[in-house]
Amino acid sequence: MFRKNAERGIISLKKEKYGVSEGGAPLYYFPSKNKCTHLLIAGIHGEEPETTFLLSRAIRFLRDSLDHVAFVLCANPDGMALGTRGNERGVDLNRNFLTTNWLPEDVLCRLTLESPRETRLSPGKAPLSEKETGALVSLIQKLEPKLILSMHSPMACIDAPLKSKEVKALENIFKIPWVPSIGYETPGSLGTWCSENNIECITLELPRIALETMETDFAVSFAQWIASI
């Protein structure tokens, strides 16, 4: 069923545009053939290209769109092009969703897991002030998935309210533990927005690992999991 490596140079799934970024880049997603129940989202933080890379490597095994799984490979194309966590306007998109706990204060980020939280980003001038978050919310509201997988790195854990069968499968693939909470406040995050809108959200924090090793260690098993959900 999976394509051979010789065919994995390109993505063969149909792609659709769901919006435009603040910097004018197209926002693409790969729709499911029928009603979407699972939406996988990578690349919302531009400094985490391994999320986009791994998801791309996995879906390049697929010959055709899946029946009910849809994909956003890069929710923050400007940040990815600039190599920055935030978008072109310096907004951390994962703090820009409309949630009851959204805060106008600067977001404090760290440059590595060992660094202090001292690098400032904006949460946006208001919730959903950024084109990328507005377009993503519209896409989710259109697709109405029951489960969203939000991909990040490199905290090496799976943050989800429940240890569901999907969480257990991801624990086995990535050899990382489930945590019921990430351990710090994430006001305005996609995960919080999902919980307030009754959508199950699993935040997959990939382990710290080289891009090339991901192909060997995870691409096949992650693709098999995607094809099985």
Q: In what order do the strands lie in the sheet with 200-205?
A: 69-72, 38-41, 147-152, 200-205, 157-159, 178-179
Count CA atoms within 13 Å of residue 27 on its CB side: 26
Is 47 one of the annotated active-site residues of the chain?
no
Check: CB of residue 138 under 8 Å from CB of residue 19: yes
Window of 20-28, 32-40, 48-56, 178-186 that interacts with Zn ion by CB under 5 A: 48-56
Instruction: Give 5 or 211: the residue with its C-beta nearer to Zn ion.
Output: 211
Q: Which is nearer to Zn ion, 48 or 50 (CB)?
A: 48
Stretch that binds Zn ion, among 40-48, 54-62, 100-108, 143-151 (CB under 5 A): 40-48
Stretch that binds Zn ion, among 17-25, 42-50, 172-180, 215-223 (CB under 5 A): 42-50
Tokens describing residue 91: 């907004």
Q: How far apart are the C-alpha atoms of 135 and 5, rounded to whole Å?
A: 33
Binding residues for Zn ion, total number by CB under 5 A: 3
Pick between residue 31 and residue 43 the one whose CB is nearest to Zn ion.
43
Residue 152 interacting with Zn ion (CB under 5 A): yes
**Which one among 8, 38, 45, 57 touches Zn ion, defined by CB under 5 A?**
45
The residues, ordered by sequence, that sit 6+ positions from 9 with a Cβ below 8 Å of its Cβ are 60
Per rule CB under 5 A, is residue 95 in the interface with Zn ion?
no
Q: Residue with structure tokens 């880049």?
A: 25
Residue 60 found at the interface with Zn ion (CB under 5 A): no
Q: What's the min distance (Å) between Cβ of 1 and Zn ion? A: 31
> How far, CA to CA in Å, does 155 sit from each of 8, 96, 206?
28, 21, 6
Catalytic residues: 205
Judged by the rule CB under 5 A, the positions of this chain that interact with Zn ion are 45, 48, 152
